[in-house]
Amino acid sequence: MSKRLNLTLSVWRQAGPSAPGSFMTYHAKNIPDDASFLEMLDIVNEELIETGEVPIEFPHDCREGICGTCGVMINGRAHGQEKGTAACQLHMRKFSDGDTIVIEPWRARAFPIVRDLVVDRSPLDKIVAAGGYVSAPTGTAQDANETPIPKEVADSAMDAAACIGCGACVAACPNSAAQLFTSAKLWHLNSLPQGQAERFRRTEHMVETMEQFFGSCTNHGECTEACPKEISQDFIAYMNRDYIKSQIVNRKLAGQK
């Protein structure tokens, strides 16, 4: 028999993108401590539905920490207090009976609130669409082991590719900058042989698209702390380096030395 928790929730409620929002207090009673954070919200919502109230809208999908859909500010921290853990993998056993939990949606000008805790993160898609791919219109894909990739390079690319695009880095950043997201998407491809042909074009386009929506990096390091995949800020340095290079390389490629 698991322990049961009684909690006070302070949840941001907002009916629509332009509707006024405010914190509402809810009592989450008899929550099993092996429930996940999202399951706790499900239990609260069931009760709200039974009493005829509008349930709390919150983003969720796979609930196993790999899709990047969930993510809210929990007591002032993106995805809550567990390092390297998405909100869906945060369990109620990490809280104590009688706790007050403040739940707020991600905040950034580029992430307008859709409803309650759900925000629109489509600017992140715009960044990927600007170059976060490898163009290979060459018929059948070759065997994977045809291109030798050193272990260190594959590891580094994989560390960057771990990004699930949840937007916690933007949410945690005091400037709402998307540097960690963009640099992870860049390094995932820029470090691999397959990504070299488009490396500098990709970097220029993705950075410039990012800057249309998001702020500028001031190297606080909040993003890495918030990231459920613990993606390193080192990738931001690689992005800065490649961006400066791209200004010269891309002009050379275009024949204007």
Partner 1 sequence: MAAPTTTSAVTGGNSASRPLRPTQRKLPFPASLYQTAVGKKWVMALTGLMLIGFVLVHMAGNLKLYLGVVQHQGELIYDADAYGESLRELLVPIVPRTHLLWVLRLGLIGAFVLHIHSAYSLTRMNLATNFAYESKRDWLAANFASRSMRYTGVIFLAYLIFHLADLTWGLIPGYEWERGEIQHNVVGSLSNPVVAIIYVVANLALAMHIYHGIYSMFQSLGINNPRYNQLRRPLAIGVATIVLVGNVSFPIAVLTNIIEYDPSLLAG
Q: Quick check: 129 and 42 in contact, CB under 8 A?
A: no
- How many angstroms separate the CA atoms of 13 and 23, rounded? 6
Which of 136, 197, 237, 253 forms a contact with partner 1 (CB under 8 A)? 237
Which of 39, 47, 221, 249 forms a contact with partner 1 (CB under 8 A)? 221
Task: Give residues 47-86 in contact with partner 1 (rule: CB under 8 A).
Answer: 59, 61-62, 67-69, 71, 73, 75-77
Q: Is residue 226 at the binding interface for partner 1, with CB under 8 A as the rule?
A: yes
The nearest distance, CB 139 to partner 1, in angstroms, is: 26
Q: Is residue 24 at the binding interface for partner 1, with CB under 8 A as the rule?
A: no
Which of 88, 130, 157, 177 forms a contact with partner 1 (CB under 8 A)? 177
Which of 217, 228, 229, 231 forms a contact with partner 1 (CB under 8 A)? 217
- Say how many residues touch partner 1, by CB under 8 A: 76
Which of 111, 169, 229, 231 forms a contact with partner 1 (CB under 8 A)? 111
* Contact map string, positions 124 to 153, toward partner 1, x by CB under 8 A: xxx-x-------------------------
Nearer to partner 1 (CB atom), residue 32 or residue 102: 102
Q: Is residue 37 at the binding interface for partner 1, with CB under 8 A as the rule?
A: no
Angle between helices 199-213 and 234-253 (to 10 degrees): 120
The nearest distance, CB 123 to partner 1, in angstroms, is: 5
Give the binding range for partner 1 (CB under 8 A) out of 28-36, 99-107, 143-151, 187-195: 99-107
3-state SS string for the chain: CCCEEEEEEEEEEECCCCCCEEEEEEEEEEEECCCEHHHHHHHHHHHHHHCCCCCCCCCCCCCCCCCCCCCCEECCEECCCCCCCCHHHCEHHHCCCCCEEEEECCCCCCCCEEECCEECCHHHHHHHHCCCCCCCCCCCCCCHHHCCCCHHHHHHHHHHHCCCCCCHHHHHCCCCCCHHHHHHHHHHHHCCHHHCCCHHHHHHHHHHHHHHHCCCCCCCCHHHHHCCCCCCCHHHHHHHHHHHHHHHHHHHHCCCC
Q: Is residue 94 at the binding interface for partner 1, with CB under 8 A as the rule?
A: no
Q: Is residue 166 at the binding interface for partner 1, with CB under 8 A as the rule?
A: yes
The nearest distance, CB 46 to partner 1, in angstroms, is: 21
Nearer to partner 1 (CB atom), residue 32 or residue 114: 114
Q: Is residue 44 at the binding interface for partner 1, with CB under 8 A as the rule?
A: no
Neighbours of 57 (CB within 10 A): 17
Q: Is residue 174 at the binding interface for partner 1, with CB under 8 A as the rule?
A: yes
Chain-centroid distance of CA 47 in Å reads 30
